[in-house]
Structure 1
Amino acid sequence: MPAVTTLADAVGARIGAALAATDAELARRYPGEPATRQPVHTVYVPADAFHAGTVRAWGDQALAALDAHAPDPAALGAVLGLDGALAADVYDRVRAKLRDEPVEDLRIDFEDGYGPRPDAEEDAAAVTAARTVTAAVADGTAPPFVGIRMKCMEAAVRERGIRTLDLFLTALLDGGALPTGLVLTLPKVTFPAQVAAMADLCEAFERAADLPEGRLGFEIQIETTQAILGPDGAATVPALIDAARGRATALHYGTFDYSAACGVSAAHQSPDHPAADHAKAVMQVAAAGTGVRLSDGSTNVLPVGSTTDVHSAWRLHYGLVRRSLARAYYQGWDMHPAHLPTRYAATYAFYREGLAATTARLAAYTTPSGAPTPAVLDEPATARALATHLLRGLDCGALTPTELPLPTPTLTTLATR
């Protein structure tokens, strides 16, 4: 017997036509998570300190810190509270990472870390940085992601920032091509108009250099209170993303500028301060589904000095990184080579601790009906989160393909990458 309905087909067609513009707007604004790797951290190096051996030097200094202050898995486990088996697994992976790919994302800094310089000096530094990056890409020593942080769009430094970006990009093109992992960072954003100006700048460079439309994207640093809450009381972050016209790749929280803007005293400026949590919660909700990724800030407590001092700084950094990961901030800043051991230790422990449970839940989700009822009944949205979690672990080296419960293409499909 055929199914019987009450509504005429024309009703559904009329509703579909009425929602067509909404469907298009939904697809434009919320395309979902990018199908690409996200680095677990960003290392900022002042432009005048950047050289061909910077990445290797950071890795060597990080390894030296491990040798001096945690020379074996048991020592690192005791510092960070990792049990024997997990400590050994994490330790070996951290050493391998520091040897093979110590820095995932490098930002050559022409802003606060560089400061005001004579124009001729900054011109030369921008060109030198580009040539160094080109050479590193050619010889395979460049990190997967690399780029510059220019000066901001405020009037006092705007022309300088634009010129530095132009010189850097032009010199990259003179060397052959833009790196696949090129990243540009716009700091100290206050109003959406500044983001729109950066989008205009990228568009103008693409036209002048005959680049494909949309080739240049940029990160927005959230360092001012106005970037979170506007003068009308509305959240500003959605307007910043919208002003980028599809070019915003990430939102990076700036711990110290934002904390200072909120009046937080220097001793309490940290990524886990309530003011930071509020800002990052707004960023997270505004960016959800847009394809714009999130990065936490940094700690300025450096792992230097005596072994006691280093261990104290490592415990702090490890705890902050684990806290960020649990709150779905999968990237952060690192300010010193000795931060790298705990960056990777925290990241690897995070993904490896939950591997058995994640594997079991995905296996239960993908098992045909009729199997025993699982302890946790997951829906498609949670299955996406489980698959994405495993793929992130694979991207950073915490996991290997043979440890995954499903083939990588299947996980990618589940994650809708």
Structure 2
Amino acid sequence: FLGGVVWYGRRSRPAGRQGEPPARFLSRSLEAVGHTLRRFKTGTPPRIRADSVDFSELLVVPPEVPPGSFTGSPGPHAAKLPTWQTRTTSRTHRLILENLHLSPLYAGDIVGIGPRYCPSIEDKVVRFYDKDSHLLFVEPDGLATSEVYLQGFSSSLPPELQEDMVKSLPGFGRAVIQRYAYAVEYDSLDPTELTRGLQSRFLPGLFAAGQVNGTSGYEEAAAQGLLAGLNAARYALGLSEVHLPRESGYIGVMVDDLVGRGTDEPYRMMTSRVELRLLCRADNADERLVPLAVEWGLRPREDLEAMREKYRRVEAELRRLEALRVDGVSGLVWLRRPENTYGALAERFPPPVPLSPEEAYQVEVRAKYAGYIERQEQLRKKLRDLEGFRIPEGLEFPRIPGLSREAVEKLSRVRPRTVAEAARVPGIRDSDLTALLVHLRVLSR
């Protein structure tokens, strides 16, 4: 963490992650070359010794079998371990509410801005006072580790209080905390000062990824690291910077949000941020991204040919089903019915060459969701047309019916010039854009 300070109750010390030192002086160097820094805050839940948990009291969430993946080749251990669920209790809530004065957040010690969508357990209990309990996920830290991760239970309360809080949870009556939860404050860059390849605009050759760019979360950091690392290597080789288009997928959306609009709170990547999420599915990641990966030297050309051949077979099968008559309708119409599956159809009317499981899944998805996918294609065209919709200067966003509270807050601050720019403001949903367009059409009459 840049200038990291960790908090356990009202006590704090300079630190990075567990047992690591902070980056003490890099913040000054970044400011010296022109970068603007903000102070953010996040937290982490406690890690519990697995052998101290009574798993018989927890709800088992089995792994997906067969496991899904973006590459089509999941890792060998992807379906090895389950996850479990437990819930907070009235005793958990009472312990928190009676000891809020020990929270550095509620005592005013922490000045950093925390994530809107990943609140601490203290925040959940206070904000949602009417809830009797909150769902928690018990996740293994790894295949061979002795710890489980209590997801949804991040806290900055003192360690001695965490002991009682954890033991108030079903299945954790004898729990032994291996590592306590803590809050951490840290510096982050204003990501609008980066290029879309995540290179500093002030110091060529410096690339940034992860929490330093204002994001929160492991996946967000890894995704940025992929793009920043690729461009750092290209820079060292004297090659031009490459960018991921927004419509290419979640990484493109995240980078466009960060660089195009910035963030005033720790940014999390959520499906609601992706306008074309039905076109950016895990199962078609190869179709969207393998061509770019091959062009940039990350994948061999054979992968591109294999991907194209896969989708040629998928399209050929869709054409066959369209011409096929099944129970008085075309095979595609038959397959769109919720109770029908491609497996059953292929058993009755086998294709000339059997499809792989991945290809069969593509056929079923494209058949069943054809109407929705077509609607998303139309939305893609509309988004390109949105640049033509100008937003009047001085428009009062709070007066627009149907806008979410978050949309009103962010649009009022960013003041986008077009609906396309509004669409790229982090947190603006499709429903917000619809409300804005309806209002603009009313004004234009």
TM-score by length of 1: 0.23
Which has a greater percent of helix?
A: 1
Higher CA-based Rg: 2
Query: Which of 1 and 2 has higher RCO (CA within 8 Å, sep 6+)?
Result: 1
